[in-house]
Amino acid sequence: MNHGAPAQKHYTQIRGARVRRGRSARPFAALIALPFLGCSLLDNPNPKLDVETPVSYREARAVPAPAPALDWPREFRSPELTRLSVDAQAGNFDIAAALARIVQAQGQAEIAGAALYPTVNADVSADRAGSPGTLHSKRGPFRTVASNLFSLGLTASYELDFWGLNAANARAGRLLLEASRFDRDVVALMTAASVANTYFTVLGSQDRLRIARQNTQTAERVLKAIQNRFSVGTASALDVSQEESLVDTQRASIPPLEQTVLQSKNLIAVLVGRPPESVSIKGGSLDRIFVPHVPPGIPSQLLLRRPDIAEAEAQLAAQNASVYAARAAFFPTIRLSGSGGVESLLLKNLFRSDAFFGQMAASATQPIFDGGNLEGQFTLQKGKQVELLQNYRKAIVQAFTDAENALIAIQETTRHEKLEAEVVAASTRAYNLTEQQLHEGTIDITTVLNTQQTLFQAEDTLSQIKLQRLTAVVSLYQALGGGFARDQYPVTPDDQPATDSGTILPSGVVAAPGYQP
């Protein structure tokens, strides 16, 4: 269903109301602007997004579904993973840096909004001056003249924001603050996914390590049986050497797996913001991890659930305001200023009614020639607007792609795991038969070696596929926004930029045709 027309009508009503208020309240300002600029501030439509929203995913039915829980790592039902995820959200250095960027953006927003208010300064001075007597008499007597001057006053200035330049800059500052908050959510989601994936890598490596050690013991047992056959002349030295090679291969696979386990644990320590020595990770097995079912919902829901889309959207909306401000800079600047206070030669007379002084002034400055500075600034802001528009489009398309890829990975790894489990079962049966026949002396050594290698490889592959399936589920949680809720950062209606078609999203940017909230 296309909601573009109602949204456009809603915006047109708002925009028309603003234009009517401007025409009735500021006729004199518009009259001043006409001789200097042949264009209007309102003839700068924001760019069309033109991003098609698919109706459904290829790998899932189009059924609306609630967003994942904010603490989605709990869905895997691993107390240790849950604890590590909570610790990471509290102690991760990247999240802390993102929070610091929010504070910086808050300061920038306050700076940008300061121009909307008058500036008032208090002035207090006490001066004593002396002039030589030779300046007051040509023949004498010469006497130095001293005098005091006491002053207490206020000075104030205010720029009338007829064209909305200061308001646009303030709006851009507020939206960039929103973008920094969304950036923090992006970092938090990436951190949660990294903790889960790294923890599953620990478990998967521990599983492969157990399999490698068990296979080493099995190969050593077979080697002993072949050596016994060699001692009675029913096996050759080549048979013994081949089995010894298999035993050594299994032993050689253990150190890299141990290294992966230890280094993955250290990586988790970095993610939770602590040194490796102070983090205890027991681990376990992937077989004990519950694989949750994650309903993807419909693609259009991603527009409200992905923090990276919200961030790109807020950045584009802020840039739209910056373009408006760059256009408004062509108009005259009108400033009011005034000062007043009391002044006296004697301190005791400072607060008399006749010690008051005051001054008021108004000025208007119209840029005429600046070497192309204003044109360059306007071109610069328009270029940034186009860049951020493309970033926003890419974020939307990338979100759909991430979800599709995760759904494909879950479906295919689930099927692959089932098939590989059948391979392991068949290989186990084949190996049990060959080992039995080996002890009976009714089978050749080459067949024993082949069945061993097939079983060992199948078991190791199955463990890796289980890891791939879990990481695919984590990828789907991440693709769906991981419980992100953008309505926790409300944007005021004044922060909605001008639009031309489509549905107005919470931060004011228009969604693609076909968007369904």
Residue 36: pLDDT over 70: no
- Confidence band for 11, pLDDT divided at 50, 70 and 90: very low
How is 331-351 classified by DSSP, letter by letter?
SPEEEEEEEEEEEESSGGGTT
Percent of the chain with pLDDT over 70: 85
What per-residue confidence (pLDDT) applies to 35?
42
What per-residue confidence (pLDDT) applies to 53?
87
- Nearest CA to 122 among 156, 95, 150, 84? 156
CATH number given to 4-21+51-91+161-331+366-511: 1.20.1600.10
Residue 124: pLDDT over 80: yes
Instruction: Please give the mean pLDDT across all residues of the chain.
Output: 86
Q: What is the mean pLDDT of residues 286-313?
A: 94
Q: Which of the residue ranges 163-177, 284-298, 369-383, 492-506 would you say has the lowest mean pLDDT?
A: 492-506
- Confidence band for 508, pLDDT divided at 50, 70 and 90: very low
Residue 30: pLDDT over 60: no
Q: In whole angstroms, what is the distance from residue 483 CA to residue 293 CA?
A: 15
What per-residue confidence (pLDDT) applies to 504?
36
Question: Is the Cβ–Cβ distance between 310 and 399 less than 8 Å?
Answer: no
Q: In whole angstroms, what is the distance from residue 3 CA to residue 517 CA?
A: 9
Residue 50 backbone zone (phi > 0: left; psi -120 to 50: alpha; other: beta): left
What per-residue confidence (pLDDT) applies to 371?
94
Q: What is the mean pLDDT of residues 403-424?
A: 97
In 193-312, DSSP assigns E strands to none
- Nearest CA to 467 among 253, 215, 259, 197? 197
Higher pLDDT, 21 or 234: 234
Residue 102 tokens, joined: 């929010």
What per-residue confidence (pLDDT) applies to 46?
66
- Confidence band for 49, pLDDT divided at 50, 70 and 90: confident
Q: b/e for 48-70, b at 16 or more Cβ within 10 A?
A: ebebebeeebebbeeeeeebbee
Q: In whole angstroms, what is the distance from residue 396 CA to residue 413 CA?
A: 26
What per-residue confidence (pLDDT) applies to 60?
84
- Give the three-state DSSP class for 365: strand
Residue 244: pLDDT over 70: yes
Phi first, then psi, for residue 513 (nearest 5°) are -55, 140
- Give the three-state DSSP class for 129: strand
Residues 6+ apart with CB under 8 A from 8: 499, 500, 501, 502
Residue 138: pLDDT over 80: no
- Half-sphere exposure of 502 toward its Cβ, with a 13 Å CA cutoff? 23
| Apex 12 CA angle, 9 and 14, nearest 5 | 115
What per-residue confidence (pLDDT) applies to 42?
53
Q: How many CB atoms lie within 10 A of CB 14?
A: 16
What per-residue confidence (pLDDT) applies to 9?
37
Q: In whole angstroms, what is the distance from residue 47 CA to residue 509 CA?
A: 10
Residue range 79-102, pLDDT digits in tens: 999 999 999 999 999 999 999 999
Terminal Cα distance for the chain, rounded: 10
What per-residue confidence (pLDDT) applies to 43?
54
What per-residue confidence (pLDDT) applies to 388?
95
- Confidence band for 233, pLDDT divided at 50, 70 and 90: confident
Residue range 51-82, pLDDT digits in tens: 888 888 988 887 889 999 999 999 999 999 99
CA 288 → CA 78, 234, 304, 470, 483, distances in Å?
Answer: 8, 45, 34, 12, 24
Q: How many CB atoms lie within 10 A of CB 1?
A: 8
Residue 349: pLDDT over 90: no
Determine the residue type at 300.
S
- Residue 16's DSSP bridge partners are none
Q: In whole angstroms, what is the distance from residue 299 CA to residue 112 CA?
A: 36
Domain boundaries, the chain: 4-21+51-91+161-331+366-511
Q: What is the mean pLDDT of residues 492-512?
A: 41
Residue 107 tokens, joined: 């300061």
Question: Is the Cβ–Cβ distance between 480 and 69 less than 8 Å?
Answer: no
